[in-house]
Structure 1
């Protein structure tokens, strides 16, 4: 974490910084900033600061408060959906909440496009830090028999579809909605998914169809090992010689079974920045 200047600081969040993060030289007040992953700005000690924020074109921005209260902060600043002079103002109370989103996520405003502007009308009376992250847009449904929400964090999106399809069909369904079939890289992520949906059997993107015994998360093209795994007892078994796909089995306390890809199950699609 590096201070650019002592009064007004832009820094890459140490919790979210990536190897692609970009250091930003900032003027005393305001400027144009590209968000590779996440940035944090501290409120100025004077008014009339204007920041233009942008990220990659197929992503949106989410703004939360690291210190202070985002609702109260609206007394001191405006957040605009876009960088144009007449861009609509985003307000915390106007943000729609997905029915399956976590209740403990911080107050946030989401843009509808890849740009935003933050304009400080006056200096806050207390310390205020705003975190601005790249996020994915999250639909409110993928049809009548589906549910969506920000069930893991404020930047990603997950949608469950309860129309049963085979593994290939669910993969195609997710892709057609700009998402991918579920991956479960950590225990914490699996617990969050299970807390949102307690369906009996869910397709994941884990498969060894390309090479027997070599398990790959197809959605991210990454190997399962070394990494988190939660096979049910006796699995993977390759019973019948054609169990090349993997289901999340809620009945057996959320462990995984290898299963024939031609069977039909529900699924969860994911979109991650």
Structure 2
């Protein structure tokens, strides 16, 4: 009888936990409280990528808040590109210093990157009017560290959306 009571409690607790979680749309991958869409088959410039994400469920280009999130995204990117670290394997991030050179912010809420987690490659981001690299990217050729890149370049990108904002389809 005790065995059945334990099984029942486990089942009820599992159902309650699952009801509290939202899933992701088909093609999206979940981690913690976010859903991610890895646009590994198309390339857009940074502005086009922000519009693409916004038109797909109101999501945004990924913002990385901590090391666990970075490691998850890095792992997913490596799975997509198993052939190594081609110069072609990089993804836009949702950070820019377009408004004020050298002041990097997440475009979603304008919070400064310097106030939170970052993973810039040594010497990055480069500053100065001549480099004109105003958009952050997750650079595959160097262990998916962050780099400042020319916003006009075409790249893969990652859309992110909170699981509570996802509309489940299919």
TM-score bracket, shorter-length normalisation? 0.7 to 0.9
8 Å contact kept, 2:101–2:127: no
Per-residue CA deviation, residues 184-231 of structure 1 (Å, 9 max, x unaligned), is 111110101111122520000110111111111112432212211111
8 Å contact kept, 1:230–1:256: yes
8 Å contact kept, 1:149–1:159: yes
When Rg is computed on C-alpha atoms for both structures, the one with the higher figure is 1
Match of 1:258 in 2: 148
Unpaired segments ≥5 residues, structure 1: 1-123, 142-147
Unpaired segments ≥5 residues, structure 2: 82-88, 165-170
8 Å contact kept, 1:160–1:268: yes
5 Å-filtered alignment, 1:98-247, equals 125-126=5-6, 127-128=9-10, 129=13, 130-131=16-17, 132-133=19-20, 135=22, 138-141=24-27, 148-150=28-30, 152-153=31-32, 155-161=33-39, 162-178=41-57, 179-198=59-78, 199=81, 200-238=89-127, 240-247=130-137
CA RMSD of aligned residues (A): 1.8
Structure showing the higher helix proportion among its residues:
2
Please report the TM-score for the alignment, with normalisation by the length of structure 1: 0.48
Structure showing the higher strand proportion among its residues:
1
List structure 1 runs of 4+ shifted beyond 6 angstroms: none
Distance 1:222 1:167 in 2: 18
